[in-house]
Structure 1
Amino acid sequence: MVPGKPELAEISELPDPVAAQGELLVAGLLVGVCATDSEIVHDGFGRVPPGQDRMVLFHESLGRVLEAPPESGFAIGDHVVGVVRRPDPRPCEPCADGQWDFCANGEYTERGITELDGYGAQRWTVPPEFAVRVDSGLGELGVLTEPASVVAKAWGQVDRIGARVEAAPRTVLVTGAGPLGLLAALIGTQRGLDVHVLDRVRAGRKPGLVRDLGATYHHDLDAVPVRPDVVIECTGAADLVFDVLGRTARNGIVVLTGISGSEEEISVPGAAINDAMVLHNTVVVGSVNAGMAHYREAAKALSAADPGWLERLITRRVPLSSWTDALTRAEDDVKVVIDLRR
């Protein structure tokens, strides 16, 4: 496909890839679909690989290893997820240290997004250092690893910032009950926290998914009965972002993971928010993408979760033959995946 030209989205026959020395050859099983994919197709976000006029889409992957060099640490039959981001060619200090999710100069590349073909293929290759083994017992649920890695990083930021105070968080508010929000809530419950999830919908599957985690669902911020120690913001809704800043407990931590994707201007009570943040020692941090440690944490969290609950996150499975249908969001969708085998 060509970014920004949905009329050119198609299925193409390409030569089977040949793994370079040391690489894994993988049979693609599923890819997950997120808002970024739709923005690439419809809005022109992303960049095709150099020397190409189009790109293979999708960055959320799940595959099965077909070929693995003996020294790779992987074996034929392993279920794997490919990492999205790659360090820049003249590595900045974070990239040189393996923290490409903190790239300082912005010259990173990303599978299916920025200058690299994605995982939306029945065969793909990947260097072992950019592959993550997932529990084969998860089956197709391993496709949730990449979105889970994003919120695993967010929780990692909470841990690092929280170390400034000799007091562990007790309550968390997750804003948004899409895939990121629900997976953030899952990790919060696994940590034994009092988890509250805010979303605007009043019915459908989301409230039940939250309740079945042992968390509390809200559709009105004013009705949330706690001042949370932690906020994981997953909507990117600008008015909501600023609304939660003045509502945390003392020493609160707010992690922003949602992209607004808009230039809409809003009015905010800047002075009141500033005073509340200063007087309460509030920290706000943005968090994007994920590093290898976050992928591994995500894989652990999914392995420890109730597979029946995870299965309910995947609301539609679209065959490859009609993959563009996955880009149109249905009313009760949570996570949509494309089956690359059909």
Structure 2
Amino acid sequence: MGKRPPGGALQTETMTDSKTCHVDTLPRIKAAGQSCSECPFRKSNIDRPHFNDQYSQTEFTRLWRSIAVEGKFFGCHLTDADYHPVPQESLDMGYQKPADIGARRECAGSVALIRREMRLAESYPNHATYIKARPAGLSKHAFLVLSKRLKGMMEPPVRFAVKPDESDVIDPMERIDTTSFEWAVNTEGAAAILLAIESVIGSLCECPVCTNHTTAHKARPFLTAEGMAVDADEELHGLLSSMSAAGIQTMDSCINMADALEKLWPERTATLVRAPIGKMNYSSMIRSRAAHIRYSNGPAADAFTRAASAFSGVEVSSSGPVTQIVFQPKHIPALTAAAKR
């Protein structure tokens, strides 16, 4: 834990995240001497037009929360090629295409803000007084992580940028509503809440894949357990119908999410595929070009879930009230039979 043994060298820790795509396997390096013109921490970029609202108040809240509350490393998006695919519409707006430099370079704008916030925190008699005055400031955990990195006790080390100077970076207290949902709940928590809502009232998603799904894959209507007629990929019609007949409330399905993304929302693929493996998300199904179904947990679904878990090659995961199965088309007959039992 960063302690120096008697007569020995300093032992260091390394910041790690789930390694779910190319950029997460790269070494993390110190920030450049100055931030780029597209830095989301610059005042000059507040509310700048962008295809996915990168400069909105909501996005800034999400980014700063990951640093200030969770103590996470934030990479410069111009060197995070896998994290930040740039569609043609973004290039047409004058944005640059991220480069793969063989490493993740820390965002210079973020460390300029970190430098100012750490100095402010140290000006208060204790952390409780500081966070009361600046509730959008650094948590104890984040302050400890950053302090270790500054002292060389944790990798990567922090290098404070020359530019922008502190007057050119956003003040979180002026930009963040600390009563907002985005500040109160991290990304994983927000996803879990959304799943819980959707398990009761159905999907709330209005993304291109959901709203235009029938243009990517041939669809056929089936009757859900709640008695609603909805479209689903034709290859999954029999399985979904059998699940509904058994009283299982399905809420999301696709025969090949990777294919649907390629056709309808290609710029989103890199973001979805980097989600942590082993948790309920779209990562594994995209990587394996597999089918998936999400459904509500409950007595009607329990036997089916147990049966699906026993099939080799079928991935079963749950989050709160929702279970997800990921499978190849060859598994459909066996899963259909399991739903009919």
TM-score by length of 1: 0.27
More helix by share: 2
**Larger Rg over CA atoms:** 2
**Higher normalized strand content (fraction of residues):** 1
Higher relative contact order (CA 8 A, sep 6+): 1
